[in-house]
Amino acid sequence: MDRIPILRMGPVLLVSIQLDMHDQIALVLQDDLTNAITTHGAKGVLIDISAVSVVDSFMGRMLANIAGIARVLDAITVVVGMQPAVAITLVELGLSLEGVRTALNVEKGMAHLQSVVASAGALSDPGDDADGAD
C-alpha cells in the first residue's frame, strides 16, 4: 500500500494524503494524478491533508508542483483540511503555497471547485451533448 488512491467524483479528483510523503511516493502520486487528469479530463483536484500533522519544505514543494502540473492541464487544485499547526509551520518556513488554492474542508473545497467548473460551463447538464451551451 505505498500508493495513494485517487478518487474520481465527476469532474473532480480527490486525494487524501495519510502517509508521510517521501520522494518515491510523491513522484508516484504526481505521475498517477497527471495520468488521471488527462484520462478523465478532470477539471479539479482536491487534496485533503487533514491527516498531515507535520509539514516540511518537501511537502510544500510537492503541493506546489502538483498545482502547477494540474494548471497546465487546465485543472484547478484546492488543498483542504490543513491543521492550524501546519499552517503556522508553512508560513514560518516561508512557504505561502502561492498558486495553490485552499479551503477549510472537503465540503467547502468541493463547493468552490464545482462553482468554478460550473461557471466554466463544464458542469452544465451532464449527459447533455453540450451543443446547447450558453
- Residues binding its own copies (CB under 8 A): 1, 3-5, 7-10, 14, 16, 18-20, 48, 50-53, 81, 105-107, 110
Which C-beta is closer to its own copies: that of 51 or that of 88?
51
Minimum distance, C-beta of residue 72 to its own copies, in the bound complex (Å) = 25
Minimum distance, C-beta of residue 9 to its own copies, in the bound complex (Å) = 6
3-state per-residue secondary structure call for the chain: CCCCCEEEECCEEEEECCCCCCHHHHHHHHHHHHHHHHHHCCCEEEEECCCCCCCCHHHHHHHHHHHHHHHHCCCEEEEECCCHHHHHHHHHCCCCCCCCEEECCHHHHHHHHHHHHHHCCCCCCCCCCCCCCC
Which C-beta is closer to its own copies: that of 71 or that of 83?
83
Which C-beta is closer to its own copies: that of 73 or that of 106?
106
Which C-beta is closer to its own copies: that of 43 or that of 132?
43
Minimum distance, C-beta of residue 53 to its own copies, in the bound complex (Å) = 7
Minimum distance, C-beta of residue 40 to its own copies, in the bound complex (Å) = 10
Question: In the numeric block, which cell numbers belong to residue 37?
Answer: 487528469
